[in-house]
Amino acid sequence: MNARQQIAALLEEAGKEYLSGNAIAEGLGITRAAVWKCIRQMEEEGYRFEVTRKGYRLSEESDAISKSAVLRYLGDAAPLFDLEVLSQVDSTNTCLKRRAPELKAAAGGDAAPWHTVIAGSQSAGRGRMGRSFLSPSGSGVYLSVFLMPRLSARQAVRITTAAAVAACRAIEACTAGESPERKPCIKWVNDILVDGRKTCGILTEASIDLESGGMDWAIMGIGFNVYEPEGGFPEELKTIAGPIALTRRRDLRSRIAAEFLKSFRQVYADLENGSFAEEYKSRSFLIGKPVYVLRGGASRPATACDIDDECRLLVRYEDGSSEALSSGEVSVRPVS
């Protein structure tokens, strides 16, 4: 562990007791100045402190992602995951893609631990269609899981839709008691909305075995906007993106990561038969709404009618024709 992680562990263990700067410095064999520098860096990662003459302690608003906290909230499910928790990475998906050959070689059976990378921020977060995904420090949680699914390339959408169901369950588990209008719902195919704004995005990437037509491996990546970033969302995202929580809470980001991983593992167990499709449909934000189907630079108005057992979006165009969308993108806003 680095000095910041050691300080975090000391303060978590101390609970409501204060630890003086001198005690921390002596315990770790570093200077008071080094302790102060670490505290400043930790604040950028989401830690919040109460500081008095007695020293430091973590406040109830302290919410940084730590491996120890994620493992604590995973509870009995902790052995199912091989966790790597980082303060920052370029992209959690990219991180796993670089190591895909070695991870595939080391992969065990269905019961083997899933290698999972969790980060507090990303310098090059990615979304669908080559878009960037805003991933600032201190406000979100970003994670990717390396998978070895027994699915055809055509069924790859099941991974994304299973993750969407798990994300809704995790958000509900961690925000119970909040106003009903902030209930999470799914905008086909990979966005989670709370209060009508995007709080979560999913990006699934896979390597296809050309001989079998199945997936060689897959990486499911997901990013949660837990809080509004410091200074607010950028102007171009203010009407589109939103936070899961309106106030900071102790360990909320680590809790969301753990709850999502537990839920995703449960839903993933039914990936081949797709029994989660009904729940995915029941959580849909789009059914019955006018939408715009985006394809090849063109935008075609339609109505979202239903979602089938394969989690395809069924749309009806203005000329009366219908289509089942298994990929692509739709918008609820006109696109120029």
Map out the domains of the chain as residue ranges: 3-58, 67-282, 290-331
3-58 placed in CATH 3.40.190.10: no
290-331 placed in CATH 2.30.30.100: yes
Quick one: pLDDT at residue 179?
A: 64
Q: Could you tell me which residues are beta bridge partners of residue 132?
A: 126
Strand pairing report for 55-58 and 81-86: unpaired
Q: Which fold has domain 67-282?
A: BirA Bifunctional Protein; domain 2 (3.30.930)
Name residue, tokens 């960037």: 132
Quick one: pLDDT at residue 110?
A: 74
- CA-to-CA dists, residue 195 to 162, 181, 233, 262, angstroms: 21, 6, 16, 25
Quick one: pLDDT at residue 324?
A: 93
pTM (2 d.p.): 0.88
**pLDDT average per 10 residues of sequence, the chain (336 residues):** 86 89 93 93 86 92 88 95 93 95 87 93 78 82 95 87 97 81 89 94 91 88 94 88 91 96 96 90 94 89 93 94 89 74
